[in-house]
Amino acid sequence: MTRVLFVVVGLVVLSWTPLAGAQTATEPMSGEALLRGPLARPAARLAGAQVLRGQFTQQRHLSELPRPLIASGEFLFAKELGVYWHTRKPFDSVVTLTPSGIVERAEGKETMRLSADDQPGVRMVARVFLALFTLDMASLERHFRVIAESGDGKSSRWSIRLEPRGDALASVFVHANVSGDEDVEQVVLTDARGDRTVIDLTAVQYSSTPPSATTRALFEPASP
Amino acid sequence: MNRLPAPLRRRFIAWSALMLGVLGLGAFQVLPDLALETDVLALLPRTQQDRDLDAALQSFSAGLARQQIFLVGAANPDGARRAAEAFARELRRSGQFATVRLELDGDLRRRADVYLRHRAWLLAPEDRNLLAAGELDRIRNRALRAAYTPMGLMQPVSLTEDPLGLTGRFLSSQVPALGRARIEDSMLTVDHGGHRYLLVVAEVQGSAFATEVQDRVLPVLEAARDAARAAAASAVDIVSSGALRHAAAAADRARREISTFGTLETLAVVLLMVAVFGALRPLLLGALTLALAVGSAFTIVHLVFGQVHLLTLVFGSSLIGSVIDYSIHFLADRFRDPDRWTPADALSHVGPAILLGLVATLIGYVVLALVPFPGLEQIAVFCMTGLVVGCGSVLCLYPVLARASGRQPPGLGPRVGRAIDEYLRRWRWDAMKIGVTAALAVAVAFGLARLRVEDDVRSLQHSPPQLVTEEQRVRELLGSGLETRFFLVTGDTAQAALESTEELSRTLDDLVRSGALAYYQSVTRSLPSLAQQRRDHDLLSRTVYAPGALLEQVMADLGFEPAAIENRRREFAGQTEPMGIDEWLAAPASEGLRHLWMGRAGDRYASIVTLGGIRDVAALEGAQSGSARLIDRVAETSGILGRYRHIMSWLLAAIYCVAGLVLLARFGWRAVPRMLLPSIAATLTTLGLFGWLGVPFNLFTLLALWLVLGLGIDYGIFLHHGRASRPTAILSVTLSACTTLIAFGLLAFSATPFIRSIGTTLLVTITLSWSFVLISSLTGLPRDSKREEKIS
């Protein structure tokens, strides 16, 4: 039993790399300072929101691949529930991220289910996604070193860089850049090989009423 | 001294020199690295297999026994983390642990390395099935979804290098099921009842059963607990599981009992001796004899076996009974003629009886030593050494040392002897006594029929309730406890063993699906056999890497140029060698699994498959095959206990016969029944009584009965020899029965079940044996009584 557990321990998340050397141009700013400064307005808006919905475009830039892989669709974030990620193009696929795991459905059928308990990396990714959407600085700072890259007070635009503290997230990306103005507008994930995933969020709407039954139903299959 | 004959003096000097030599050996060879074993299982014979495999299994079990699991919990996650970190730090700092693990290995890439070097030969079981079944569309669709949706972000290997995700899936399949624990912030975590628990696993250096290891480790655990409490700044709940604390508790209890019982025993014996002999000299002589006997026995056993078992020591205390008996017989001889007695008289008068008693007892122990049962060998060697040394000391040292003091000895002893003698002389076998005896015999027979046999080894080990509760809580928190059952898979070659392990794994997969088993752990999920790797390589060549096959289709769909596709093909073709056993064993990837590969054991190769959350033992037994055997140490051990109980019952009967023949040659057929029957009757009556009382009969009861055999025969011989001075002989036998009762009566109150078993048995049997032997040796048979009456 003990050995069993420790096998796991080692193999937990087989990451491609340890941290790449972080080169930061600017001084790190504490999460609280960021929330008082450049992130004050988007964070305030998010704090009041119960449900958040909008459109996304995802581009993956891969080595040896001449053109990026582009996908688009709509997303929905509901507090306490998770993220509902509906890819419309180039094909229809729904991914639901909740604290307990990730479920993927294509053409109405469940095609994959990753339980956070079985695959620890999944829990991390789910948590980070949720934190990104809420700008939950406390949670982000636990897993990342948070560095302010711009947001000098003159313009309302801001950009922060997140560098994972642990290996579990480093297996997914070595750093993430999150930027926006009133809202979170773009997330760029960069992995150790330099492959990048760029996610643009547009037409974001807030709702301060709790998620409706229809919205809840979207997450149903994801709950264990 | 001057009046002493020269042979006696020479004997005294030679024996003293011998004793000094043995004790010197003990002081300089044994004491520096003393090892006291407390595990009852260590006394049992190895499972019936070839020696090498057995040795390998033994070291596997020893490795498991070294593991200690700790769950460090607090009400809030931060507190739990700080507590666990402080706890682990303290364990590491102590240097008493070979490994202490809390956080996961940081350099995970190193772990994946060996698999990446051989990924052209490796497949996850699910992918293997899909490819073999031709369900290529499912793999294609999965790859496309990974490229366009967040699912792709979870892949451990980049899309360019692993467009179909096959390598990623193999790596993910290396994460085994782990009960309720999950990984959180790179620590194994269990949330339960509003508390967060973090897992710390430590491996002690040295055997968990060695007292010196326990003595070093236990204070460290206490210090670590304190450190955890201080670090968390809140209530900390630490539960643990592992053999060490159980073994330490057993050893500690044994030490406590030995010192408590030992002190009480000594006090009682001192009082008894002073009351009877009225001088300190007999007492000191008895103590000297005992010390020499125990010291030599301990030294010899330690030299022969490398350690001494707790049970051997318990039996050693039986020597108090027998060895002190010799000195009592010698010293009590003085009461025959208190005024003119000299030690040399005693030597000629009781020496032959003592020697004869020794021979009869030794026969029993020689037979015991010949039974191939490591524990019995040790006990037999201990007892034989102790008895020979004790007897030798009495016969060689006492003639010089046991000078009578000028004073008259107290009258208490002779009065007791005379009182019993008079009672016995008045004893008549009338109709009522015969009737009662017959009724008792019938009751005993019915009791014997009701006797319950108990061989379950678990009932013989007993841990303090607090440790048992902790063990249960660990089980509850982790969703699985330490399973003692596992599979042993063997093969003529290393590859054959791996192939058999794969076959077993497929069966176990079905059992996991059907719920008979929660999970299992085997090397082949990480280290497939060469045959399997070749099949997988072949499958990949045909279905994935062939021109126009899956790889080309998917990569073209995603928009890769032909050059990129060619790169993947070249990489595949470049990995010409499958992953070998030695390479895997040497790689960081095998850490945590490599102990399951036992490699060469004798002329075979073996691997172990461990099990978790067993719900259906019968189904597991059904999974056995010619090469895969379900090993159940507990059941095997109970079986062995039962088998040996059986063999030893017959041996006991056989030794009564042999002893009977020896006595027959010496005393003739009329005297022998009087000497032997009391012991036999006492043994049967005890067992009958146990039957009525519901006290179970086990191997340890039987060991006690062996002891009774020796003591009972001693009494018989002594009373026979002492017919001329009945009160003295009666006193002598009564005194020795009393000392034995003092020694073993206390063991009946032991908290260790197997020691209690021995104690209870002896308490009852010695009492019975003493009264039976007096009646049988010193009262006339019904017919004799009448004759004696006429004569007197």
Q: In this predicted model, what pLDDT tens digit does every residue of A88-136 receive, in sequence order?
A: 988 898 988 887 778 888 877 888 787 766 665 666 667 777 777 777 7
Q: Using CB atoms, which residue from B150, B154, B558 is nearest to A69?
A: B558
* Lowest mean per-residue pLDDT among B48-62, B147-161, B355-369, B603-617: B48-62
**B200 vs A152: which has the higher pLDDT:** B200
Average pLDDT of chain B to the nearest whole number: 83
For testing contact with chain B, the best of A5, A107, A173 (most B CBs within 10 A): A5
Work out the number of other CB atoms within 10 angstroms of the CB of residue B313: 20
Please judge whether B564 and A168 are an interchain contact, meaning their C-beta atoms are less than 8 angstroms apart.
Answer: no
For residue B69, list its beta bridge partners.
B201, B241
Mean pLDDT, to the nearest integer, of B150-172?
84
Q: How far is B160 from chain A (nearest CA, A)?
A: 7
pLDDT reading at B519 higher than 60: yes
Cβ of residue A107 closer than 8 Å to a chain B Cβ: no
What pLDDT score does A74 carry? Answer: 93
Cβ of residue B149 closer than 8 Å to a chain A Cβ: yes
Cβ of residue B78 closer than 8 Å to a chain A Cβ: no
Terminal alpha carbon distance of chain A = 25
Backbone angles phi, psi at B773, to 5 degrees: -70, -35
What pLDDT score does B456 carry? Answer: 73
What pLDDT score does A104 carry? Answer: 86
Residue A178 CA to its chain's centroid (Å): 10
Residue pair B388/B360 in contact by the 8 Å Cβ criterion: no
Alpha-carbon Rg for chain B, nearest whole angstrom, is 35
Complex confidence, ipTM: 0.81
Residue B318 banded pLDDT, cuts 50, 70, 90: low
Contacts of B520 (CB under 8 A, 6+ apart): B505, B508, B512, B609, B610, B611, B612
Mean pLDDT, to the nearest integer, of B395-404?
82
What pLDDT score does B600 carry? Answer: 86
E strand or H helix at B204, and its extent?
strand B195-204
Q: Using CB atoms, which residue from A1, A71, A91 is nearest to B612?
A: A1
Return the closest-CA partner of residue B434 out of B53, B783, B688, B184: B783
Please judge whether A123 and B158 are an interchain contact, meaning their C-beta atoms are less than 8 angstroms apart.
Answer: no
Compute CA distances B588 → A172, B106, B585, B591, B731, whole Å: 22, 12, 8, 6, 74
The pTM score is 0.69
Mean pLDDT, to the nearest integer, of B353-379?
79
The percentage of chain B sitting over the pLDDT mark of 70, rounded to a whole number, equals 91
pLDDT reading at B42 higher than 70: no
A-proximal residues of B, 529-588, CB under 8 Å: 558-561, 563-564, 567, 588
What region, left, alpha or beta, does residue A183 occupy, with left being phi > 0 and alpha being psi -120 to 50 degrees? beta
Mean pLDDT by runs of 10 across the 224 residues of chain A is 29 26 42 68 76 90 90 88 88 85 81 71 70 76 79 71 74 80 85 86 85 80 46
The token pair at B653 is 């009967």
What pLDDT score does A61 carry? Answer: 92
pLDDT reading at B717 higher than 60: yes
For residue A184, list its beta bridge partners.
A180
Please judge whether A2 and B558 are an interchain contact, meaning their C-beta atoms are less than 8 angstroms apart.
Answer: no
Backbone angles phi, psi at A144, to 5 degrees: -135, 155
pLDDT digits (tens, 9 = 90+) for B536-548: 999 999 999 999 8
**B177 vs B339: which has the higher pLDDT:** B339
Cβ of residue A115 closer than 8 Å to a chain B Cβ: no
Of A54-63, B143-152, B304-313, B612-621, the range with the highest mean pLDDT is: A54-63
pLDDT digits (tens, 9 = 90+) for B407-420: 777 778 888 888 88
Contacts of B636 (CB under 8 A, 6+ apart): B47
* Lowest mean per-residue pLDDT among A159-163, A191-195, B395-399, B634-638: B634-638
What pLDDT score does B40 carry? Answer: 59
Q: How far apart are CA B480 and CA B182, in angstroms?
A: 14
Backbone angles phi, psi at B461, to 5 degrees: -100, 140
B-proximal residues of A, 146-165, CB under 8 Å: none
What pLDDT score does B41 carry? Answer: 60
What pLDDT score does B222 carry? Answer: 92
